[in-house]
Amino acid sequence: MDNDKSEWFARILKSIGDAVIVTDTMGCAVFMNPAAESLLDCPLEGIRGKPFEEVFCDIDEEADYPPIEGLDIDPPDHVGYVTGNGRQIILERSISSIENDDGFEGQVILLHDISERKHAEDALRDWAERAVKRSEAKYRTLLEQIPAIAYIAPLDNLDSALYVSPQFEKYLGYSQAECASDPHIWRKTLHPDDCGHVLAEVARCHTTQEPFLCEYRSLARDGEVKWFHDEAVIVRDDDGHPLYYQGVMFDITDQKRAESSLRQSEALYRSLVEKTTDGYFISEFPSGCIIFFNERLCELSGYTHREAMHLEVWDLIALDEHRRVHEQVWSKAGHEGHICRESIFTAVRKDGSTFLAEVTVSSVPFQGRQAVQGIIRDVSERERLWRQLQYVDKMQGLGVLAAEIAHEVLNPLAICSSAVQFLMEEGNSPEFQKECVQKIHSGIGRVSGIIRSLLGFARSYPPATEMARLDLLSIVEETTALISFKAKSQRVKIQSRSCRSPVFVGGIESFLQQVFMNLLLNALNAMPDGGILSLLIEKTNREVLVHVTHNGSGISETEVGNIFDPFRIGLLPGDRASTALPLCYSIVKQHSGTIECKSTEGEGTTFTVRLPIAPGEE
Amino acid sequence: MSEGTRLALVVDDEPDMCWVLEQMLRRSGFTPRMALDGCQAIELLRSEHFQIVFIDIGLTDMGGDKLVRQVQEIDPGTRIIMMSGSMVKEEAHIRNVIQDGLICDFIPKPFLNREVMRAIERACSPFF
């Protein structure tokens, strides 16, 4: 029976695919099945009698199978084996004891080749390790390249870092080695003024274990002040246990500087706006609701700040000026980048009194809304002085003409005088007497004409302030008549070409007379030895153009550029030219027109005045 | 022109002023001619001899003083009387022609007719 059993077992052992080795009580192999021989590439004789330590090499690794309950089997282990042809294989080895009634009889060892599995596992582990290293390297590279200082600090000691990224040196001048040797280096760099609140925040975080968040200044090694935005969070393990603080210090010095300079410029702007001697407002566009009103404008208008906030810009403008201001200023003010400079209108105070205001407006974004800002200046006094100057200039102009006008008056007077003396003689024929009377009559007519044009020119002082509807043609003609005497005395020929019908413009007569008198006198001055003065009046749909051309000495390009500048170089004090042309410019501008000068040196000059045609006349 | 006819020329851009002087020249026995500017005057002076020429200082095409010098060149025997409505302005020009002895008289406007008559007489005097 035993033999049968043994044979039966032996057959089973030979036929199964697993490698089986049986040892005696001494642990020496006494049996190997064919699968074991094949696996170890060695017959039983090769290992018979050898202790296992010599056959297998220990690779110090246990297979992680859970123990099987109720079986006296040690957990399998892994061992190395070098086959007859030198191949290294890894085996999973399970050992179980054979016991019979006499006690321990030997061991059955099951071997299983797990080399391929192990290789695959090792390869996978290698790959995973490399991947971890790669990602670590990437993370580190990233960490060390961001424009910030990264750090790791223990939970209970935020101000002594375990790790500080190399940027610490870049921003604060201390190397990683210095940081490593002095764990309190961060605390030492803190700006004395910020140290208190930063350390208080550190203490709070230690107690509460909440994230750390602080903005502060640090002093770099060279003494430079740096601003940091510092944020640290607690890193926890998988079970949620806090491990350490991980933080980043962002350099915000530039941002802080920009903020500070913005604050400074804001403060400057605000003080400028508040302290300026001009009124300043911001209003919504297009509604015109006031949203800012400076102190000076309160003084000028008589409204308080609070009252001003309920106003519209239109409340500050005289009613009859609304249409003009709307057309000339407001309708254009909303266009981005557009600036309406120095428009003059009548402004109304809270008490209803008025003053002459000069306003410059432009569009400006204000708190996300489209708005219009304006500078208002009280120019009443300036305008009064300007009008005085204008009058003085006009009288000066008449003074220049005085000699010629006197000459023009003396000629007909001389004729009258002689004719009267003829009449006083006796014996004249009735025909001759009649001829004398006719000469006297025509002489008196001429003298009165001259005096009338003089009066027309000198009347209206103080000059009107309101614009009136005027025939520009007759203004130009009358003025030309007045200077014609001087033109004659200088042997300047006047050629005039103009439209036949009257051309109406809105304006102040006295001012417009002065513009043309100054331009005509300027032309005569350029032709002391005679020449041709031509006048051309053209009418277009919207404006009238008056060209005053002379062929006297022209002026250079640079002089043309500043010919309307009252302070231009090369003029002597009291020189009429220092006021005459600048006055023309101001007057024309006040009439919403333009004046320009084109000149070729040595050939002549043309001044062109453009004035808008009065409403309804286009 | 018949023998013994005495010619006089009036140069003034003012036709009525010419008319006044013509009346007086006729009364003095002259046959007056009239020129409204310097060019007309020169043309006449080149064709005939004028004993007396009245020249207004302010002509439309040239200064009266310039015409005086031209008259002296064309016909040195001519007597010239200058007139002006504004002495102040033309003062320098008038002074020059007087100093150079180019004119025999100067009459400011307006004038008394008899002053003009006297000037004509003086201009005709052989003692001048």
Q: Do B112 and A421 touch (CB under 8 A)?
A: yes
Specify the pLDDT at position A14.
80
A570 CB neighbour count, 10 Å cutoff: 9
Q: Do A488 and B14 touch (CB under 8 A)?
A: no
Q: Do A403 and B89 touch (CB under 8 A)?
A: yes
Q: Do B111 and A418 touch (CB under 8 A)?
A: yes
Question: Which residues does B60 contact at the CB level (< 8 Å), separation at least 6?
Answer: A488, A491, B13, B36, B37
Q: Taking a C-beta distance cutoff of 8 angstroms, is the pair A166, A145 a contact? A: no
Specify the pLDDT at position A572.
47
Question: Nearest CA to A30 among A114, A143, A108?
Answer: A108
A184 CB neighbour count, 10 Å cutoff: 12
Q: Within a 13 Å sphere around the CA of A83, how many CA atoms are in the beta-carbon half?
A: 14
User: What backbone phi and psi angles, to 5 degrees, belong to A349?
Assistant: -85, 175
* CA-based nearest distance A612→chain B, Å: 37
How many Å from the N-terminal Cα to the C-terminal Cα in chain A?
141
User: What backbone phi and psi angles, to 5 degrees, belong to A158?
Assistant: -60, -25
Q: Are strands B52-56 and B6-11 parallel, antiparallel or unpaired?
A: parallel
Q: Do A488 and B16 touch (CB under 8 A)?
A: no
Token output for A341? 């400079």
Task: Please return the burial class of A45, using the count of CB atoms within 10 Å of its CB with bins 0-12, 13-18 and 19+.
Answer: exposed
Compute, in degrees rounded to 10, the torsion defined by CA atoms A567, A569, A575, A579.
Answer: -30
Q: Do B111 and A403 touch (CB under 8 A)?
A: no
Residue ranges, chain A, pLDDT below 70: 1-3, 60-74, 458-465, 566-578, 617-618
Identify the contact set of chain B against chain A, taking CB-CB distances under 8 A.
13-14, 16-17, 19-20, 23-24, 58-62, 85-86, 88-89, 109-114
Chain centroid offset of residue A169 CA: 34
* CA-based nearest distance B51→chain A, Å: 23
- Identify which of A404, A410, A489 has the shortest CB distance to residue B110: A410
Q: How many residues does chain A have?
A: 618
Chain centroid offset of residue A133 CA: 46
Q: Do A417 and B111 touch (CB under 8 A)?
A: yes
Q: Which CATH number fits domain B7-124: 3.40.1190.10, 3.40.50.2000, 1.50.10.10, 3.40.50.2300?
A: 3.40.50.2300
Q: Taking a C-beta distance cutoff of 8 angstroms, is the pair B51, B78 a contact? A: yes
Compute, in degrees rounded to 10, the torsion defined by CA atoms B88, B94, B99, B103.
Answer: -140
Token pair 């101001």 in the structure block, residue: A586
A260 CB neighbour count, 10 Å cutoff: 11
A94 CB neighbour count, 10 Å cutoff: 18
CA distances from B125 to A401, B119, B122 (A): 40, 10, 5
Token output for B44? 């006449």
* CA-based nearest distance B54→chain A, Å: 15
User: What backbone phi and psi angles, to 5 degrees, belong to A149?
Assistant: -100, 125
The answer to whether the peptide bond before residue A612 is cis (omega within 30 degrees of 0) is no
A8 CB neighbour count, 10 Å cutoff: 10
Which residues in chain B touch residue A413, judged by CB atoms under 8 angstroms apart?
109-110
Q: What is the rounded CA–CA span in Å between residue A265 and residue A145?
A: 34
Beta-strand (E) ranges in A166-256? 212-219, 225-236, 242-251
CA distances from A115 to A39, A75, A99, A125, A413 (A): 12, 18, 31, 15, 143
User: Could you write out the DSSP letters of every residue in A251-280?
Assistant: E-HHHHHHHHHHHHHHHHHHHHHHH-SSEE
Question: Nearest CA to A413 among A453, A446, A456?
Answer: A446
Q: Taking a C-beta distance cutoff of 8 angstroms, is the pair A378, A401 a contact? A: no
Question: Nearest CA to A275 among A295, A299, A261?
Answer: A295
Specify the pLDDT at position B119.
93
User: What backbone phi and psi angles, to 5 degrees, belong to A546?
Assistant: -115, 115
Q: Do A439 and B16 touch (CB under 8 A)?
A: yes
Q: Taking a C-beta distance cutoff of 8 angstroms, is the pair A100, A86 a contact? A: no
What angle (nearest 5°) sits at the alpha carbon of residue A261, between those of residues A259 and A265?
115
Q: Which of B10, B14, B16 is best to mutate for the A interface (most A CBs within 10 A)?
A: B16
Specify the pLDDT at position A577.
60
Domain ranges of chain B: 7-124
Q: Do B85 and A406 touch (CB under 8 A)?
A: yes
Question: Which residues does A574 contact at the CB level (< 8 Å), separation at least 6?
Answer: none
* CA-based nearest distance A485→chain B, Å: 11
Q: How confident is the model at residue B86 (pLDDT cuts 50, 70, 90)?
A: low
Which residues in chain A touch residue B109, judged by CB atoms under 8 angstroms apart?
410-411, 413-414
Question: Nearest CA to A585 among A606, A610, A604, A605?
Answer: A610
Q: Do A418 and B110 touch (CB under 8 A)?
A: yes
pTM above 0.80, yes or no: no
Contact pairs from chain A to chain B, CB under 8 Å: 64
Which residues in chain A touch residue B112, judged by CB atoms under 8 angstroms apart?
417, 421
- Identify which of A412, A414, A491 has the shortest CB distance to residue B111: A414
* CA-based nearest distance A409→chain B, Å: 9
Q: Do A407 and B62 touch (CB under 8 A)?
A: no
Which residues in chain B touch residue A442, judged by CB atoms under 8 angstroms apart?
16
